[in-house]
Amino acid sequence: MFSKGKHIIFQSLLMLASPLVSFLVALRFYKHGISQIFLVIFAFYFGMHFYLSNDITYHYIRMRMFYCDKSWQEILINPDALGNGLDYYHIILKYVISRFSKSRELFAGINCALYSGMFLFFFNQFKNYYKKFLPVSCGILLLCVVFTVEFYWYQGIRFWIGVFYFAGFYLKYVNTEKKIFLLLSAGCVFFHYTLVNLIAILIVNWGLSKIWPWFRVILLGVSFIYRALSVDFMGWIIKKFPGIDLGARTVSWIHEDMQIRIERLRENANVFYSYRSEFMIFFGVLIMMIFWSRRIRFSTNYLQIFFFAMTIYTAVNFAYAELIFFDRFLKISVLMFYVFLFIMAAQNYEKYKGVSLIIMILAFIPMFYAFLTPIIEMRNSLLHKELWFGNFFIDWNGGMTDHHGKWYFD
């Protein structure tokens, strides 16, 4: 490999000529910090040229309307400017970008780069394992962690960047057992207010660790029964406490509207995509059963990652009627589960070496499935020449595509 200086020059020239080629080279040397910087730069390029979903478009429009040419004081006293929530990440982000640009492309590119950078912060918390030589089975499990994360989640602006922030500091805590990192992880609510649920689940998980171990399993079993009944817990709260107010709209109105949308979404769901997380959990459990059969002794500090993932999964079963919470936090559970499986595989390869082929097969199936699902989901938006054959100096069409292949213009 090149020296650092030559590596930077080589990658810079590649990025200017063909961001795609630079991205592929950076992937090949992903263990190096310089390559990871160029992965973030490619993410910026990708975000500039990829389609904009309703969510990121909504944030962009609000930035144009309520942030550009407005002072910080004007923004803070305007309820429309704060309409996406009082978590300050999106407010500060829009304020900073609005100081120097109104470009839709730049707004999208910056958000994609920030998302990728925070993912790498999380990813680097288990670099002690992936920086060593990885047997094929371990490498496939590492890819399971990577492909659990869908590349277009950056378009939600807030939620997943907050998840990676939380997960990064939580893993720092697990690695070092320094409680300061656990305290820092609570900063995830700065990114998205719903992430307070992760902190609550973490506290519940700590409480469960202090009582009879099998109670976790019983609670998980009960959660499946509760899920099968699809009990609407929020609806019960609203009936008990009518008229709870959120500014100009009531919780009841919001909830009723959301439940109608949930029913429609579940009725018309793409089966191939909607069972992605459950599919990955199923194969992950099979892999863990093989680890158990080989009498692998799980590290006590890393075992808490598994229990945390299990507690999240139990919580989402109880919240099955709330589609957004269920879907998002189920994905977090899968992500943490595969982090645990990868670390255990990397630590104990010699103990399961005799059945590594079985592990490879069992890990490859969910890995390939996880890789394929977002590609199929976004297939219409990925088939654009500017994504793959352009560079920073070429503007093929002067705009950005939506998922129907139409063009946006300012």
157 Rama sector, left if φ>0, alpha if ψ -120 to 50, beta otherwise: left
Report pLDDT for 217: 92
Looking up tokens 């559970």, which residue turns up?
A: 333
| CA diameter of the chain | 67
Looking up tokens 């060593």, which residue turns up?
A: 132
Q: Are 312 and 255 in contact (CB under 8 A)?
A: no
**338 within some domain:** yes
- Report, as ranges of residue numbers, the positions in the chain whose pLDDT lies below 50: 243-255, 397-410
Q: How many domains does the chain have?
A: 1
**132 within some domain:** no
pTM (two decimals): 0.88
**337 within some domain:** yes
**240 within some domain:** yes
Report pLDDT for 234: 55
**173 within some domain:** no
Report pLDDT for 326: 86
**pLDDT for 254-300, tens place per residue?**
445 555 565 666 666 666 777 889 999 999 999 999 999 888 888 88
Report pLDDT for 408: 39
**81 within some domain:** no
**9 within some domain:** no
Q: Which domain holds residue 369?
A: 194-383
**242 within some domain:** yes
CA separation for the pair 342, 303 (Å, rounded): 12
